[in-house]
Amino acid sequence: MALKHSYTLIAPLYDMLVQGAFDRFRRRSLQRLPLDDDTRLEVLISGIGTGLDIPHLPVEARYVGVDITPAMLRKARRRADARPELEIELHEGDAMHLPFDDGRFDAVVLHLILAVVPDSRRALSEAARVLRPGGRIIVFDKFLRRGERAWLKRMINPLLRHVATRTDVVFEDLLEGCDDLHCLRDEPALAGGWFRHIELQKHAQ
């Protein structure tokens, strides 16, 4: 089942499944946005879904949210409307083929998207492409580590990857394919370190 179609079916239940469980981790991750007192940064939220990040976004930046699923974006728009003080645009788009010019954004947020899309490396590469040199990528997601057996996570992946998410993504493999990014921080978040807070920076030119 294509990602767009599966998340159209999941959209009515998505908030009930993930909203409360991850709120504090979203807040903690978003606190790492490189806000500037003198310049209003432009931040991309790739795979914004139903907009569960929106209540936690600091008003000091401008935001662009992208998601491939119209049913999810409709919920995100309602959340955006509930924060009129927040400057945010929402667009339908694919995290693996972002509809933006190179180097447009000062920061990119990737929350629970890299382990969802069919091509995680492509999604990370696209985030790096639209990021300006020196910009940051903020990641919160679940990843295996190199050499981790995790036989149960790997066993259920063929089923879950066609419905909602992947459970076999190794972050170090993704990063190896993005030569213009380096890791500033990698910390465990929950589930024994399966979920991680990761902060990346694009090399300055």
Q: What is the pLDDT of residues 157-179, one digit of tens each?
A: 444 444 456 668 889 999 998 99
The answer for residues whose C-beta is within 8 angstroms of residue 27's C-beta and 6 or more apart is 56
- Let me know: does 92 contact 118? Beta carbons within 8 Å: no
| CATH architecture observed for domain 3-202 | 3-Layer(aba) Sandwich (3.40)
Which amino acid, 10? I
Flag whether pLDDT at 126 surpasses 60. Answer: yes
**70-103: string of b/e by CB count within 10 Å (b at 16+)?**
ebbbebbbebbeeeeebbbebeebbbbebebeee
Q: Is the Cβ–Cβ distance between 185 and 134 less than 8 Å?
A: no
Which amino acid is residue 95, in one-letter code? A
Whether the per-residue pLDDT at 153 is higher than 50: the answer is no
